[in-house]
Amino acid sequence: MRISTTIFLTDETITPVRLARELEERGFAGLYLPEHTHIPIERATPYPAAGIELPREYGRTLDPFVALGQASAVTERLELGTGITLITEHDPIALAKQIATLDHLSGGRFTLGVGFGWNKEEAADHGVEWATRRELGRERMALMRALWADEPTAYEGDFGVSVRASHAYPKPAGGAPRTLIGGAAGPKLFAQIAEYADGWMPIGGRGLTQSMPVLREAWEKAGRDPKTLQVVPYAVLPNPGKLAHYEELGCEEVVLQLPPGDETEVLGVLDEYARYLP
């Protein structure tokens, strides 16, 4: 099982360049970065972790694509990904170009983690109607795939999402990057995963024993090859039993959570995590 990592990189943490070099030298498989454009001060949305104040790093995150571009430039094998891209907070035409460029320049190392967010105020500042954000995200993914197609392909959705048939280069390696959708288990999420993604990125990895058979059923009903489904537990605080359980369930990659700390703190945790490397 491949061991990757995620971290809230900020203006106060270890730098993307230093972290990426250390990860590759130590044999970690990948680096995934989260995204928040901003965190409104006046908000009604509670932080999903019950009873805990929103951590400082949420309002200080680096742009993941800029940071991953730096990581790409100083590594050759390290996989790069978002965990997750808030797809409804982007212009999809511009986002398609960012993704294709990063995947092209990194030699096909990019994984697109997609999510729909939890902070209503953040989304509202981007003009997102909360009740229909999943449908909007689905259409924006379809538009990006149209731009990544081999031949100029038009797309028109129901939420004002459209693009003319266009020349759009570079293309991602393989026609589109590996796409994983993050979110809590449920029929709506699993239907979208089965429709247009390569798999699921469950936060923390809890409840997989019960959830994975349900996802597999939705996947196969959609006519997808059961052998191709990928489930990547994300932001995991590891222990040997937990990782062994994921491997027994068929997970081929797990993403371990690093603290949003300085160089000394983060490298110390990497030293601890080294025992989990294959």
Question: pLDDT tens digits, the chain, 278 residues: what are they?
Answer: 999 999 999 999 999 999 999 999 999 999 999 999 999 998 788 888 766 789 999 999 999 999 999 999 999 999 999 999 999 999 999 999 999 999 999 999 999 999 999 999 999 999 999 999 999 999 999 999 999 999 999 999 999 899 999 999 999 998 999 999 999 999 999 999 999 999 999 998 888 999 999 999 999 999 999 999 999 999 999 999 999 999 999 999 999 999 999 999 999 999 999 999 99
Q: How far is CA 19 from CA 9, 45, 187, 201, 255, in A?
A: 10, 32, 37, 22, 15
CA atoms lying within 13 Å on the CB side of residue 170: 15
Q: Give pTM, 2 decimals.
A: 0.96
pLDDT of residue 48: 82
Q: CB of 172 within 8 A of CB of 197?
A: no
Identify the sign of the CA torsion 19, 9, 103, 249.
Answer: positive
Residues 95, 74: Cα–Cα separation, whole Å: 23
pLDDT of residue 50: 63
Peptide bond into 238 cis (omega under 30): no
Q: CB of 148 within 8 A of CB of 172?
A: yes
| Chain centroid to CA 100 | 15
Tokens linked to 27? 């044999």
The 10 Å Cβ neighbour count of residue 195 is 15
Please give the DSSP secondary-structure letter assigned to residue 171. P
Residues 2, 256: Cα–Cα separation, whole Å: 11
Q: CB of 226 within 8 A of CB of 216?
A: yes
Interacting residues of 218 by C-beta distance below 8 A, sequence separation 6+: 187, 190, 191, 193, 194
Interacting residues of 200 by C-beta distance below 8 A, sequence separation 6+: 180, 181, 182, 189, 190, 193, 215, 230, 231, 232
